[in-house]
Structure 1
Amino acid sequence: MKSKPNSLYIISLTLVAALGGLLFGYDTAVISGAEKSIEAYMITSLGLGPMAHGATISSALIGCVIGGIISGVISSRFGRKNTLIAAALLFLFSALGSAYPEFLFFTKDNPTLGLLLTFNTYRIMGGIGVGLASAVVPVYIGEIAPANIRGRLVSFNQFAIIFGMLVVYFVNWGIANGNTLEWINDIGWRYMFASEAIPALIFAVLLLFVPETPRYLALNNQDDKALAILTKINGEKVAKSILSEIKQTVSISSGKIFSYGKKIIVIGILLSVFQQFVGINVVLYYAPRIFESLGAAKDASMLQTIVMGLVNVIFTVIAILSVDKLGRKPLLITGSIGMAIGMFGVAGLAYYNIIGISTLIFIIIFTASFMMSWGPICWVLISEIFPNQIRGQAVAIAVAAQWAANYFISSTYPSMMEFSNVLTYVFYGVMSILSAIFVWVMVPETKGKSLEQMESIWTVAKEVNSDKKSSEKAKFTSPEEVEVQ
């Protein structure tokens, strides 16, 4: 009887799903190389200002919020796999449409407001794909992964995200390198967006060969299929016991969103909000511009962005290797402290108008701290803290909150910097400190627990709350009411 987990099969499924994370990173970071060209080609030529610029650069985030909101309904109704296929197709169409938004106008004359709106529509389409992938990829990996390596495998999604960013940094640099600014502003930015079509197509094809998750199948009374996949993943010896645990937690097909209390939903939302309010995506989206503002030329700023991308990869690997050993909470708290040091350091240097290698060092401290903690661990926790009955709905709420926070931070960054660059970085530093306090006080440790064991934590909490309400009701029940009862 086969009893050992099929490591090769588990890794293969994780790698395919993680391509969604790679496209997540690719799509959100491709704008960093094209941002100034979009400003020159569309924003400036139309006589629009910083608010329009910020809204255009962040337009994909509107789609991310939409994708996050609808991810729970779609993944619960059509499955995790089919939702990821839909995301892959959205990535593909967005890449091609963003590269040549004039297609609908059959012209390439001077940009118009209609062209700008069309470009934003394609970016929003890609954002919906990002929103779906950001919610469903961690859930897919979390639902197929054995408990003892779940944190590591879900963290690999974050590695794929920042690897996608690193890849597109190289792609953008390769397209821009050696070409004139005029060519980049007219043609080069189109190549940057179009390059995303290649990984999007690969992702869509590979998804055809992966199975649905056993927990989704069990939730929809497809026990035979669920058992077959569990057997292939975990071995025959434990597959039946795992399926039994799953069935005990999904005996009711779905639960009301607050059926396990409001606290768990609040924790999921705050995890997402803090991950964005520390300012990481400002650094990622506007990296070349930040380095240019620190005195680097365009090519040098692109190279410094690549260096930062390499740092991100290294420290994400550290998180992957340590998350199942050290636990989620210690990494999050340590990362928050490191991020605060980085942002307060940048703020201090900005206050004294010191621009140089020291600023780059503090930015690297900030991003490295994020990548070894909040980058991957937030997604791990979102994928594993919610009970089976409400996971689809709860993850959708958390992810939608994350992208809403992302949009707010990214779209307001140019205006905040115009008001005060020092106070902008101080704000992100304060958020980093608050994120550490939040984790210390509210977030449970999930290391080594199965998804069903995690559910028992909230079940106990729900029963305790129910008992408290019952006792309070009894306390204030009048003698007349007791007599009637």
Structure 2
Amino acid sequence: MTVVANRVTTAKAASLQAEKPNMLFVTLVSIAAALGGILFGFDIAVVSGAIVFMEQHFVLNNVQIGWAVSSIIVGCVIGAAISGSMSEKFGRKKVLTAAALLFVIGSIGTATPETFTGYIIFRIIGGIGIGITSAICPMYNAEIAPAKYRGRLVALNQLAIVTGIFLVYFLNLWIAGFGDDAWDVSSAWRWMFGVGAVPGILFMLLLFFIPESPRWLIKQNRPDQALPILLKIHGEELAKQEVLEIKESFKQEKESGSLKQLFSPGIRIAMFVGVMLALLQHVSGINAIMYYAPVIFKEMGAGTDASLQQTIWIGLINFLFTILAVWLIDRVGRKALLLTGSALMTLCLAIIGIAFKMGLTSGPLVLIVILVYVAAFAISLGPVVWVMLSEIFPNHVRGKAVAIASMALWAGDYVVSQAFPPLLSSAGPASTFWVFGAAALFTFFFTWRSVPETKGRSLEQMEAMWTAREN
């Protein structure tokens, strides 16, 4: 009997291994969902081209310049804060559709204000949509992806973000070339913001063609609706097995809806790591580069057109190295990329600070080192943080946990974007970049000591991993 049982078990295991996921279906769905990252990337980059003209149009001081850039992040924090409860109640798909609508409204509103206050209001509205998509898009892709390919499918969100950034840098330069300096100040920045409605509408339309998250459906006691989706992804045997594993993971849920779960054994360490990674993604300085690239290049002596052209190089490097990260993340793992990237970022920020301190900014040195810094970020903190936030939390708390970590991410973004202009003018560029370098160095040591490798683990295995670390 034992021999027969072993043969049956072996045959079943072989059958499961023989089944391969339907990667065409999964990839198409993941690409559609990841396009929410286009909206994120658009808003990161569009303001870098518009702020130079808005400063003159509204006669802004340094604090107002920071507020013009960072006000969207207030909306992002709100969006991230409500994303968990909203997506748990209404599902990932419906909430993403609402977020796309908010982004469209925000894009049109920021293109048409007569006052600076009007601009700020609509910037915050659009930010709410961005905050929601930033939390839910990678989480949705993680929930629908096979474990073996989860890293690259979630990293598609970051690829969409940098694609949006890259395209908008070209768009900003193209729009600025339509008129003279006076037209740029009066109208160019309005067109830059208004064009954002196009990807917002496209994203909204594509959402009608993707399925709901099967894990959310099972949590809502609707496995009959989840099974057909999992069948399309995995095939019959693996789909049935995954339904059972997901159901089992939800049996651990106690005190449904309570934030106390986030501080229970096996989860609190995951929360700490997730929140720290989210903060470190931004306080290491990347958005100071992305938001204020033309301002930085002007500090180096470049004119308006030259600074916009140099910004395109940042977008191109960011795009190319994110593609490399998508290829590497499931091969070399998350931790190796984080360590390599943060070490390179530290070195680059130190060199940039030295160059400004010694007055060596007139040549190509600073531009080259900035591009290396962006490349290092693009293969590490850029995609890896989003992947890890989407995969390290157990099923029954994922929505709340990702929402809190995303709030921390946007809080870090706000501090950097609001503080950069006054810090640049008071402390100077050298000290400013050294501060970011210290944050990048801390990221290296934090990753080395505290961040585990999660490559190849199923979402249902994550809680056991954290519990084992705590015991």
Q: Same fold (TM over 0.5)?
A: yes
Out of 34, 46, 65, the position equivalent to 1:30 is 46
SS at match of 2:179: coil
Superposition deviation, residue 119 in structure 1 = 0.8
Aligned counterpart, 1:18: 34
SS at match of 2:421: helix
1:398 aligned onto 2:405: yes
Aligned counterpart, 1:242: 242
CA deviation profile, 1:396-433 (whole Å, cap 9, x unmatched): 01000000110001100011111222111001111111
Number of equivalences: 447
CA deviation profile, 1:129-183 (whole Å, cap 9, x unmatched): 1110110000000000000010011111101001001111111111012521110
Between the aligned partners of 1:27 and 1:85, the Cα distance in structure 2 is 18
- 8 Å Cα contact 1:341-1:429 kept in structure 2: yes
Superposition deviation, residue 11 in structure 1 = 1.0
- 8 Å Cα contact 1:332-1:439 kept in structure 2: yes
- 8 Å Cα contact 1:331-1:372 kept in structure 2: yes
Superposition deviation, residue 200 in structure 1 = 0.5
Aligned counterpart, 1:317: 323
CA deviation profile, 1:323-360 (whole Å, cap 9, x unmatched): 10101001000000110111001000001011120000
Between the aligned partners of 2:116 and 2:189, the Cα distance in structure 1 is 14
Between the aligned partners of 2:468 and 2:247, the Cα distance in structure 1 is 18
Superposition deviation, residue 291 in structure 1 = 1.2
- 1:191-206 paired onto structure 2 within 5 Å: 191-206=191-206
Specify the code of the residue in structure 2 equivalent to 1:5.
Answer: P
Specify the code of the residue in structure 2 equivalent to 1:19.
Answer: L
1:359 aligned onto 2:366: yes
SS at match of 1:224: helix
Aligned counterpart, 1:268: 274
Paired-residue identity, %: 44
CA deviation profile, 1:7-57 (whole Å, cap 9, x unmatched): 111111111111100111002211111001111111x1xxx5211221122
Between the aligned partners of 2:386 and 2:463, the Cα distance in structure 1 is 17
- 1:180-329 paired onto structure 2 within 5 Å: 180-251=180-251, 252=253, 254=256, 256-259=261-264, 260-329=266-335
Specify the code of the residue in structure 1 equivalent to 2:176.
Answer: A
1:50 aligned onto 2:65: no
1:143 aligned onto 2:143: yes
Specify the code of the residue in structure 2 equivalent to 1:392.
Answer: G
Aligned counterpart, 2:8: none
SS at match of 1:325: coil
Aligned counterpart, 1:112: none
1:330 aligned onto 2:342: no
- 8 Å Cα contact 1:20-1:137 kept in structure 2: yes
Superposition deviation, residue 296 in structure 1 = 1.4
Aligned counterpart, 2:7: none
Superposition deviation, residue 281 in structure 1 = 0.3
Superposition deviation, residue 232 in structure 1 = 0.6
Superposition deviation, residue 264 in structure 1 = 1.5
- 8 Å Cα contact 1:151-1:380 kept in structure 2: yes
Aligned counterpart, 2:130: 130
Unaligned runs of 5+ in 1: 103-114, 465-485
- 8 Å Cα contact 2:269-2:466 kept in structure 1: no
Aligned counterpart, 1:377: 384
Aligned counterpart, 1:96: 108
Aligned counterpart, 2:25: 9
- 8 Å Cα contact 1:342-1:364 kept in structure 2: no
Specify the code of the residue in structure 2 equivalent to 1:147.
Answer: A
Unaligned runs of 5+ in 2: 1-14
Specify the code of the residue in structure 2 equivalent to 1:96.
Answer: I
- 1:334-483 paired onto structure 2 within 5 Å: 334-355=340-361, 356-420=363-427, 421-461=429-469, 464=471
Between the aligned partners of 1:163 and 1:261, the Cα distance in structure 2 is 34
Between the aligned partners of 1:178 and 1:210, the Cα distance in structure 2 is 38
Aligned counterpart, 1:74: 86
- 8 Å Cα contact 2:279-2:409 kept in structure 1: yes
Superposition deviation, residue 118 in structure 1 = 1.4
Between the aligned partners of 2:268 and 2:207, the Cα distance in structure 1 is 35
Superposition deviation, residue 261 in structure 1 = 4.2
Superposition deviation, residue 458 in structure 1 = 2.5
Aligned counterpart, 1:39: 55
Specify the code of the residue in structure 2 equivalent to 1:63.
Answer: G
Superposition deviation, residue 461 in structure 1 = 4.8
Superposition deviation, residue 275 in structure 1 = 0.4
- 8 Å Cα contact 2:102-2:125 kept in structure 1: yes
Between the aligned partners of 2:432 and 2:303, the Cα distance in structure 1 is 23
Higher mean C-alpha displacement, 224-233 vs 176-185: 176-185
1:62 aligned onto 2:74: yes
Superposition deviation, residue 191 in structure 1 = 0.7
SS at match of 1:448: coil
Between the aligned partners of 1:298 and 1:270, the Cα distance in structure 2 is 37
Between the aligned partners of 1:178 and 1:457, the Cα distance in structure 2 is 56
Aligned counterpart, 1:468: none
Across the aligned residues of Structure 1 and Structure 2, the Cα RMSD in angstroms comes to: 1.4
Between the aligned partners of 1:283 and 1:337, the Cα distance in structure 2 is 18
